[in-house]
Amino acid sequence: MVARYLATMNVHASRPDKYKAYRARKKAAGLKQVRVWTLDKSAPGFQEKLEADIARINASESEREAIVFIEAMMAEDLAAEDDVEAY
């Protein structure tokens, strides 16, 4: 019975999109949908790979120089923000 149903079902027929009106409203409001993929920290081996990457970065002289530069720029920005808030 199930096989007969699947044989007569048009799997390529368009289905009503229940989010179409929602997306249209958001688009009319000037918004754009963005899909963001992030790392899955519960994935097997994630923690080990992270620790290996951290060790590799810490052992690299060029990475250390980059980190020092970034931290100096951040400190400079924070100091500038503190000066603005003082007024």
Please indicate, yes or no, if residue 15 is contained in any of the structural domains: no
How many independent structural domains does the chain possess?
1
Provide the pLDDT for residue 41. 92
Residue range(s) defining the domain that contains residue 48: 38-87
Provide the pLDDT for residue 30. 95
CA dist 31 and 9 (Å) reads 37
CA dihedral angle for residue 75, residue 62, residue 41, residue 72, rounded to 10 degrees? 0
Please indicate, yes or no, if residue 4 is contained in any of the structural domains: no
Which pTM was predicted?
A: 0.42
Residue with tokens 């044989």: 7
Please indicate, yes or no, if residue 17 is contained in any of the structural domains: no
Please indicate, yes or no, if residue 9 is contained in any of the structural domains: no
Provide the pLDDT for residue 56. 92
CA dist 72 and 51 (Å) reads 25
Tokens linked to 50:
């992270």
Provide the pLDDT for residue 16. 67
Provide the pLDDT for residue 85. 62
Digit-coded pLDDT (tens) for 27-85 = 999 999 888 999 999 999 999 999 999 999 889 999 889 989 999 999 999 988 777 66
CA dist 33 and 6 (Å) reads 34
CA dihedral angle for residue 10, residue 33, residue 19, residue 13, rounded to 10 degrees? -10
Mean pLDDT to the nearest integer, 4-25? 72
Please indicate, yes or no, if residue 61 is contained in any of the structural domains: yes
Please indicate, yes or no, if residue 14 is contained in any of the structural domains: no
